[in-house]
Amino acid sequence: MKRTARSSEAKRSEPSAVKTASPPLRSLPQRTCVACRTARAKRELVRVVRSPTGELSVDLRGKASGRGAYLDPDPACLERGLAEGALAKALEIDIDGVTADRLRVELAAAAKERRSSA
Ligand SMILES: [Zn+2]
């Protein structure tokens, strides 16, 4: 059996809990926050993913399937991404008020989790 489908995003060599005093920065994959366009290490951003059914959620592990957009774990960037439409554009979906509220909650939770696990 040969696998022809290559996944460029799913890298399995991501250690879940490795403590490094000085992380080697150069090899980290970079992503850009869709709101403020700042490029950061992928792990510093949160991924918002649109599932195949059209549901948006914050993908903490960065591995959910679907179309994803990266944001800083910062409410200001979420607000900006919502207000300027960058998030909707990146995900190719209209974001209604209910969904926006849910993303606010999920992003805040993700940001908190990031801080406590850092
Ligand atoms: Zn940002």
Tell me, yes or no, whether 22 lies in a domain. no
Tell me, yes or no, whether 15 lies in a domain. no
Tell me, yes or no, whether 60 lies in a domain. yes
What is the rounded CA–CA span in Å between residue 85 and residue 46?
17
pTM over 0.95: no
Tell me, yes or no, whether 81 lies in a domain. yes
Expressed in angstroms and rounded, the spacing between residue 83 Cα and the centre of ligand 1 is 13
Expressed in angstroms and rounded, the spacing between residue 72 Cα and the centre of ligand 1 is 4
pLDDT digits (tens, 9 = 90+) for 29-64: 999 999 999 999 998 999 999 999 999 999 988 788
Expressed in angstroms and rounded, the spacing between residue 31 Cα and the centre of ligand 1 is 11
pLDDT digits (tens, 9 = 90+) for 80-101: 999 999 999 999 999 999 999 9
Structure-token pair, residue 19: 């403590």
Side-chain half-sphere exposure of 12, counting CA atoms within 13 A: 2
Tell me, yes or no, whether 24 lies in a domain. no
Residue 106's domain is classified under what CATH number? 3.30.1230.10
The residue segments making up the domain with residue 58 are: 30-117
What is the rounded CA–CA span in Å between residue 7 and residue 108?
29
